[in-house]
Structure 1
């Protein structure tokens, strides 16, 4: 079989990259060994324009959030699936001073588009004391990444564009005109295999800074039902059927995928500070995110072998980063545009 691109990995990065290339009229073949503990399947999948302890506007917010909504909405329609869930995020304040500060910030153009409401101190919020008030943020929500990956995998299988075999780099042949792997030939191969790229002879030089993350699955006691995403110190994400995901943790030393009692206790403790109602832990998951040294993705062509490419390192904000930069990279590969310097791997020379 001859295609335009071979893609290694069908996590978030590989799925979005494949779809953007196909929208451009290119053919793809994807290799992916299913793993329930890959970072894409463990992630909460939240997209949020106001992030961090200091609540700042995320990098390239206008560009990213202007693009991700139509991308996921259109992909849902194409796949006849439901995995994109816009949902407001409520971020409670931790002091009166913070509330006062945001009374002014809310009117600033860089924040106005993303703030639905400045909530006054003491305003009732389900399951929360809400002493100091908070921000109800707009243009937020989550992607059920596991569901998206499953339906896209079935789509690729139906098109005979998918193999579940483990990609073995030793079997890759680089030719003058492209690459060959087994009986599949292509103009280029794109590595979208997350943390596994650290072991590549070609892209192992990239300064990944992988980080293990853990999530809890909980149920709230009684008849309490929270519809918004609560986020301060920890997020509590309603995913239906009275179930919530709670996360996340960060561990740069222990890079296995085994859930730990330590992080279970840490997350439960942070959740108890966020809400004021009892909860039951019903599950726990862990995965390793392909984060990078400068918190920017790795996108571009290998410096010696232009037949090899990488679209990786999306980290904790992959849901918002992937659509925009996959489209940009697809455009670059077809000669239409350049790659944003902050994500181009040329920055690492």
Structure 2
């Protein structure tokens, strides 16, 4: 038993079924998924768990999800507040990662809590005050820590239940599993080859199709009008001359944590204005300055990366069906909390499609219908 459910068995896992249609051999699937980020893979897990056949079209580009920090954090660390369904999302993520472990053989959760460096005594006092709040008392640790190596004159506050996802391991493991099962198509999805009347795409016949394309939705003729906006984020990988002794995640302006014994991740930035596809030198300088503020030793930048996060004005995902094609769906706008949002709402979407359970109004595509 895993997390109160029967361990997932692949003995009866449904692969695509083949049938003849004229001169063509058609492959019949319950779902086509388009995308290769958190939304796509967590929804694919729901299909695996519920014995649904599918294929996933992956363009094999590094999505914003795949270069993300992988931070799992129930607290907004600027204001020491939490967010909608934080506890439910963290609990669900842990259960889901245990389920995924049953068929990949790996659990990608890294139990390395966030330590927020306080700027002054007032922040410590605010932290303690907020820790008495019913919504925050299980997240804000009242015992302060003093870390070695980094500057933290006013100590740090630990965020309980925070952690990280092994991002590279997660995507390598899930993509590898899907490839072994024959469920992944490594090519760009061509909208012109989709016949939404016959429910076919090339040589595939489908019951439902789901688009999880991030900012790629801007090229999707079926959902190009959904109100997602790009937020460009940079991070750097650095070699620290003096390593941090603990396997933790340090937060001041940005997040610092080890990728291995020598290399550390530091990021990421937020930029809604400079959205070209390239590294911004100003963002790299911002990260160098931010790291230097609390790390007093030499470090060298090994590489810099960026991604375009799909964000929504109300900071909640966009999930729902097309207004005309009732078996066509979108799952987008996960933002900076892509892991938690992608995991938790994948089940909401699956239950909506398969069990006709209404989507929460807060994330439904229909909330924009009259706007």
Normalised by the shorter chain, which TM-score bucket? Answer: over 0.9
Give the equivalent residue in structure 2 for 1:231.
Answer: 251
The separation in 2 between residues aligned to 1:139 and 1:89, in whole angstroms, is 9
CA contact (8 A) 1:127 1:226 kept: no
Deviation at 1:254, TM superposition (A): 2.9
Give the equivalent residue in structure 2 for 1:151.
Answer: 173
The yes-or-no answer on 1:188 pairing with 2:208 is: yes
Question: Residues 220-299 of structure 1: matches in 2 within 5 Å?
Answer: 220-299=240-319
The yes-or-no answer on 1:323 pairing with 2:364 is: no
5+ residue gaps, structure 2, are 1-26
Question: Residues 61-210 of structure 1: matches in 2 within 5 Å?
Answer: 61-119=86-144, 124-175=146-197, 179-210=199-230
Deviation at 1:224, TM superposition (A): 4.1
Of 31, 37, 58, 1:11 maps to 37
Give the equivalent residue in structure 1 for 2:71.
Answer: 46
CA RMSD, aligned part only? Answer: 1.6
Which range moves more in the overlay, 42-51 or 90-99?
A: 90-99
The separation in 2 between residues aligned to 1:336 and 1:307, in whole angstroms, is 12
Deviation at 1:117, TM superposition (A): 4.2
The yes-or-no answer on 1:303 pairing with 2:323 is: yes
The separation in 1 between residues aligned to 2:76 and 2:262, in whole angstroms, is 26
Which range moves more in the overlay, 190-199 or 105-114?
A: 105-114
Give the equivalent residue in structure 1 for 2:56.
Answer: 30
The separation in 1 between residues aligned to 2:142 and 2:96, in whole angstroms, is 26
Task: With the length of structure 2 as denominator, give the TM-score of the two structures.
Answer: 0.88
Task: With the length of structure 1 as denominator, give the TM-score of the two structures.
Answer: 0.93
The separation in 1 between residues aligned to 2:171 and 2:200, in whole angstroms, is 25
**Greater length-normalized contact order (CA 8 Å, ≥ 6 residues apart):** 1
**1:310-337 deviations in Å (ceiling 9; x for gaps):** 1111111011111110011111111252
The separation in 2 between residues aligned to 1:192 and 1:129, in whole angstroms, is 41
Give the equivalent residue in structure 1 for 2:6.
Answer: none
The separation in 1 between residues aligned to 2:157 and 2:124, in whole angstroms, is 9
5+ residue gaps, structure 1, are none
The yes-or-no answer on 1:57 pairing with 2:82 is: yes
The separation in 2 between residues aligned to 1:59 and 1:9, in whole angstroms, is 26
SS of residue in 2 equivalent to 1:338:
coil
Deviation at 1:159, TM superposition (A): 1.5
Moved over 4 A (4+): none
